Every structure is written in C-alpha cells, then in structure tokens.
Amino acid sequence: MSELTLTVMRLGFLAVLWLFVIVAVQVIRSDLFGTRVTQRGSRREAGRQQQPARQAAPPQQRQQTGGGGRQRRNAPTKLVVSEGTLTGTTVALQGQTITLGRAHDSTIVLDDDYASSRHARIYPDRDGQWIVEDLGSTNGTYLDRTRLTTPTPIPLGAPIRIGKTVIELRK
C-alpha cells in the first residue's frame, strides 16, 4: 500500500472519529428536556413568551391586595430563595400575598421535609411594609434566629428560614 494512501486513511480515520464525537455532542445539545417556564403578565415580554429556566416557580396567584403601584424607597422588589432545593428561585414582589408550604397551590412549593403544607405567608401591610406570618407550622418559621410567634415586619436581607430553605427579600 502506498505511503500516500495510508496517510490519507490515517488522517481520514481521525477525522471520522472526531466527527462521531462532534455528532454525539450535537445530539446532547438537541436533547434538552425538563421544565419550561412561560412568562405571563409582563407587557415588555409579550413578544418572547417562552423562556426556559432551570428553576421553576409554580404558578402564582395574581392577588392584588394592598397598593399595587405603591413603591417606597428601600422597598424590596423581589424574594430570593438563597438556600435549599429551590435555591436561585426569585419571585417579584408586586403587592401579592406569597404563600409558602408543601401544598401544591402555594406560591413557593417547598420540597422540604421540615416544612408544613401551609407553612407561612409573606404579605404587604397597608403601608407596603412586608410582613411574614407563620401559619401554625410544625417546625416553625425563623426570622434571623428567632422563632416567629406574631406577624413580623421583614427587614431587607434578613434570612427567613423554613426547614432547610432560606429566603430573603432583596431590592
């Protein structure tokens, strides 16, 4: 066999081998599945309705209690889950009540062995101050390190701990 043919075969084989690797990676790329989060209710984003996201927040009740448009300085604008299985989930604070618990109709469905089915809720009072209230949970809701007994205003950035999940309000 001539030297040239063998060289061509050698390089050709390497090319084919790498082609297989590349095709396999392409298959992985097109093999996405999981959950898709569809945005609703935003006028800006009406054009691009579908946006995949890794973490998914469940459908929220659109309850407009309290002053919807009222915004104070230093008012928190979003709720962020900073620890636990839902880490990274954010929910925009739009004046609606946010319920937390294992019940599947909660705003944030906690997949947490230490959470009760209706564990706590977070809502704004008439002044727009966000309040956290424990709904008689078994293991309690903690703001910083104190267990809640009454509805308590939430300072910006203070950790609210429910079982292994920690959430906080951020600007």
The residues that touch other proteins, with contacts defined as CB under 8 A, are 1, 5-7, 9-14, 16-18, 20-21, 23-25, 27-28, 31-45, 51, 53, 56-63, 69, 71, 73, 75, 77-78, 90-92, 94, 97, 105, 123, 171
- C-beta of 17 vs 146, nearer to other proteins: 17
Whose Cβ is closer to other proteins: residue 94's or residue 158's?
94
Residues in the chain: 171
Instruction: Work out how close the CB of 10 gets to other proteins at its nearest, in angstroms, rounded to a whole number.
Output: 4
For 33-70, letters b (16+ CB in 10 Å) and e give eeeeeeeeeeeeeeeeeeeeeeeebeebeeeeebeeee
Closest CB 160 distance from other proteins, rounded Å: 19
First CA to last CA across the chain, in angstroms? 73
Cα separation values, 107 from 14, 28, 96, 110, Å: 54, 33, 10, 9
Closer by beta carbon to other proteins, 15 or else 153: 15
Q: How far apart are CA 37 and CA 55, in angstroms?
A: 8
The nearest distance, CB 65 to other proteins, in angstroms, is 8
Neighbours of 166 (CB within 10 A): 16
Separation between Cα atoms, residue 120 and residue 61, nearest integer Å: 15
- Closer CB to other proteins, 37 or 166, in the complex: 37
The least distance separating other proteins from the CB of residue 128, rounded to whole angstroms, comes to 12
CA-based torsion, 62, 118, 122, 150: positive or negative? positive
Minimum distance from CB of 71 to other proteins (Å)? Answer: 6
Nearer residue to other proteins within complex by CB, 5 or 149: 5
